[in-house]
Chains A and B, each alone.
Chain A
Amino acid sequence: MTISAERPTEVAASSATPPMQSGRVGWTQRPGWMSQHLGTAIVLGIVGYLFGHWLGNAITGNYAYVQNSGQNSAANFFALLFAVVGWLLGIGALNYPFAKLLGREPKQEPTVEGWSKYFRYTLDHKVVGLQYVVGVLLFMFTGGLLAMAIRAELLSPTTHLFGPGTYIEIVSEHGTIMMMMATSIIVGPMGNYFVPLMIGSRKMAFPRIEAFSFWIFVAGYAVIFSALPYGGFPTGWTGYAPLQTQAGPGMISYLFGFAVIGMGMMAAGFNIAVTIINNRAPGMTWSRVPIFVWSILATAALLTLATPTLFAAGLFGILDKTAQTAFYVSEHGGSSYLWENLFWFFGHPEVYIMALPGFGIVAEILPVFTRKPLFAYKVAASGMIGVALLSFFVWQHHLFQSGINPDMRPLFMLTTELISIPTGFIFLVGMGTLYRAKIRFEIPMLFAMALFFNFLIGGVTGVFLSDVPVNVTVHGGFFVLSHFHYTIMGGLLFAFMAGLYYWLPKMTGRMMNKKIGLWHFWTMFIFFNLTFFPMFIIGLLGQPRRVFTYAKNLQGLNDFSSISAFLLGASFLLFFANLMYSMYIKPVKAPANPWDSLGLEWQTASPIPEYNFERIPVVMSDPYHYSEVGAPPVADLGTSAPPVVSTTSGSSPA
């Protein structure tokens, strides 16, 4: 059924509302300090940790191998497991499933006003989106501090700050934190906040699963960080066996942390995919779905289908550590290559889990600031689906050096090179949109254009790396490191910043300061390139990754890269300063649609009401008919407001 553009004028009350929830509110949900919130989650998390540690020791403390080794991995694992369970209990994530299990009608979650709602288990996708913004920024900030520590050590070719053990712990923690953060950095904040708005929905399909995905994401962050007091893990973010098998108790935090964050990723992907499939407004056919939503759908498919493999790989690793199985122990019938295969079967799609939403953001932003229709919309959408599909068939290129059958190399070299074709589609869509455009160089647009510059370098070096002879030469060195920083940081992080500057006015009702924003952009863009471009040269000259010493003749380049990295770090401080300045110190109210966008998310009231749209909109065309004379209206919002139509020129923001 579709809702007609002609709205009904007389309506009789019906009993069709699903009586899924009673109006009662449980004491745990009432506002106030006795209710469930971040504080209770922390307390129960600590209680769970202590209980789990005791339980693990009680179960396995008497085994000879535990007593001989001096460490009890089972106790460490149970401690973390029960900490996460306690955390979820404390925040209220388990109220609903327990109520159902006990045969009760789940109680209504109350609408909490004010700041405290950001510290609670909430069903409003916009609150979850903002929670994610803070969450991923926390991830990024801590991971960034670790990056500064790495570059500080590399100022000198010999040891001067950290010993080798501490250095590899820092490198491993930095890589893991950043990769985990990067999987959610756009899907979490912007996917959750804007997908329902962009498809004209009043809510997510499964709001509880959405909230669960965020709170377990935070728990995963804490679990991964718990590796540091346990002595860290020496494997880098890839966790390769047999080093994994030999590592100390910090490895449990890595394996379990990955599994916990994996659950969050699966939950987020599942909920978003189902929402896009089912909750599109009337008239929003697949050919009218915003391109950002297409990118999130492709990403959600990858999150949903690739992450279970990571979860299984982590489970096997935990079993090796706690139940003494031998999945990754060759002497007992296992294989360290099994980890590598399972890890990269997830790990390579993960690269596109990170890249696709970035492409989606810039493709969404370009038409707004060029005032041109998105060039070859269908090619962009099919490119995203093509990348998602092909990403399942390239993982073995990570194993070119690891004992793969040499006859298999050409196949995976071919599939890896093939994936550059749909990626190229998306790139050409961007170039086609920019062609002969009158560009408005607002800050989101600058970040979007920087992505194309950075990703071009990252992408072209990726084509080199997929080639077996080059891969053999530069594998495990700074060349690879620079390549993936160009794709992930140069692509994803710049897209994230573009998205933040673009959508924050709608999320917060306040404009970001343009002058500080310009300083932020130019310092980030320049120092990003000055940090990572020399690493291509350093890599070609032979410096390996994850090693704290290097040849004396590479010190100049390394020092240059380190100093640029510190300045790159400072550019993020500019961003935080801008955030504080624009939100609290000197807030400027944002107009309802400061960029003159045709997107549905900009057409609703500001601040956005909890139910998003007064009436469910009826969509009439895609939102990219900028400057087209006689273009059809985008949507009928069903209110007194006129239908959303394209304008021939854009106005600058207030």
Chain B
Amino acid sequence: MTDMYNKSKGYTETPEEIEYELRAKVGSVWSGGRLFIGMYTFLLAALAFAYFYLRTANSGLQWRPHNMTAPTAFGWSIFALEALTAVLAIYGQWRLRKGVVLDWQVAVWTGVLTSLVALFLQIWETTTLPFYPGASGYSSTFIGWVVINIATLVVGVYWLETTVARSMRMRKELGKDNPELSSVATARLFRANVASMTYFWGFVALSGALFLALFYIL
């Protein structure tokens, strides 16, 4: 048997085993991305539960005295930027599937920029609030949302940046091969990662819309 010696792992593998492990790896990236969204859903559900619980309880009539509202211009801007990033990620993936890698890279780099601006605005908004964090149930849950949204944006922008950086480093390995069409392991893992990342940004935009409605519109 002339199996391939895998230097980095220190043991031999048959091509079938290599392929099998690669499929497991691609599947892990794919299902891991979805499971991560499931975890995030429960985190956001806890915040939504807190919002509705305190709103319904209205302890001491202090849920939202004087209909206090966070600056709506910030809220709409942050949401618009999140939604734009999600659209860019989806558009980029669509172009990538057509084989136009450069369009995908431009879209994702733009997404990095828009999400960084959203992050900056989300932090800046905390300095312009017309209420104290503990002024009411509304203000408390709003601060909770701000912290979670900052964390979400940090995770999202990290994912965008590292994926697009990977695509640029990948050129060395793939040569003239298109990552969308190549059957090389790196390209297959990359596609699974792009799919998960795009899915995550779609989720960020949807959850952003929900909390925009809760904190700025209702």
Contact = CB atoms under 8 A, between A and B. Distances in A.
Interface string B44-88: 011101100110011110111000000000000000000000000
Please indicate which of the listed interface residues B2, B46, B139, B189 has the most CB atoms of chain A within 10 Å of its own CB.
B46
A23 B169 CA distance: 16
A316 B146 CA distance: 12
Interface stretch (A98-106, A132-140, A150-158): A98-106
Contacts of A11: 1-4, 14-15
A206 interface: yes
Interface in A291-314: 304-306, 308-309, 311-313
B140 interface: yes
B35 A273 contact: yes
Contact of B27 (A101, A278, A323, A614): A278
Nearest to A105: B169
B191 to A, nearest CB: 13
Interface string A4-18: 100111111111111
A186 interface: no
A206 B28 contact: yes
A1 interface: yes
Interface in B22-49: 22-25, 27-28, 31-32, 35-36, 38-40, 42-43, 45-47, 49
B16 A332 contact: no
Given A315-B147, A327-B50, A616 B32 contact: no
A458 to B, nearest CB: 28
A308 B143 contact: no
Interface stretch (A337-345, A460-468, A546-554, A646-654): A337-345
Nearest to B143: A325
A620 interface: no
A11 B16 CA distance: 9
A7 B15 CA distance: 11
A17 B165 CA distance: 20
Contact of A326 (B7, B8, B25, B136): B136
B185 interface: yes
A10 B2 contact: yes
A100 B165 contact: yes
Nearest to B6: A17
Contact of A309 (B22, B28, B42, B184): B42
Contacts of A91: none
B60 A330 contact: yes
A279 B134 contact: no
Nearest to A610: B10
Contact of A319 (B21, B25, B140, B162): B140
A111 interface: yes
A69 interface: no
A18 B19 contact: no
B141 interface: yes
A76 B184 CA distance: 50
B9 interface: yes
Interface residues of B, number: 73
B161 interface: yes
B46 A333 contact: no
Nearest to A277: B31
B39 A205 contact: no
Contact of A611 (B11, B43, B135, B137): B11
Contact of B24 (A19, A205, A333): A205
Nearest to B144: A316
A611 B10 contact: yes
Contact of A330 (B1, B23, B59, B132): B59
A333 B136 contact: yes
A333 B57 CA distance: 8
A228 interface: no
B158 interface: yes
Contacts of B161: 101
Contacts of A327: 50, 54, 140-141, 144
Contacts of B215: none
Given A325-B143, A335-B53, A335-B54, A270 B32 contact: yes
Of A273, A319, A609, most B-chain CB atoms within 10 Å = A319
Contact of B53 (A18, A338, A616): A338
Nearest to B134: A326
Contacts of A319: 133, 140, 143-144, 147
B144 to A, nearest CB: 6
Contacts of A9: 1
Contacts of B173: 19
B186 interface: yes
Contact of B17 (A3, A278, A311, A330): A3
Interface in B115-164: 132-141, 143-144, 147-148, 158, 161-162
A201 interface: yes
Contacts of A108: 8
A563 B42 CA distance: 44
B106 interface: no
A359 B3 CA distance: 41
15 contacts: A1-B16, A8-B15, A16-B184, A18-B189, A206-B32, A277-B27, A278-B28, A311-B43, A316-B140, A323-B133, A325-B140, A326-B136, A331-B59, A335-B59, A611-B9
Given A1-B23, A7-B1, A205-B24, 7 more contacts: A8-B16, A13-B4, A19-B185, A306-B42, A325-B144, A327-B141, A610-B11
Interface of B: 1-4, 6-11, 14-25, 27-28, 31-32, 35-36, 38-40, 42-43, 45-47, 49-50, 53-54, 57-60, 62-64, 132-141, 143-144, 147-148, 158, 161-162, 165-166, 168-169, 173, 184-186, 189
Pairs A-B, 7 closest by C-beta atoms: A333-B137, A333-B62, A312-B46, A18-B185, A205-B28, A325-B140, A278-B27
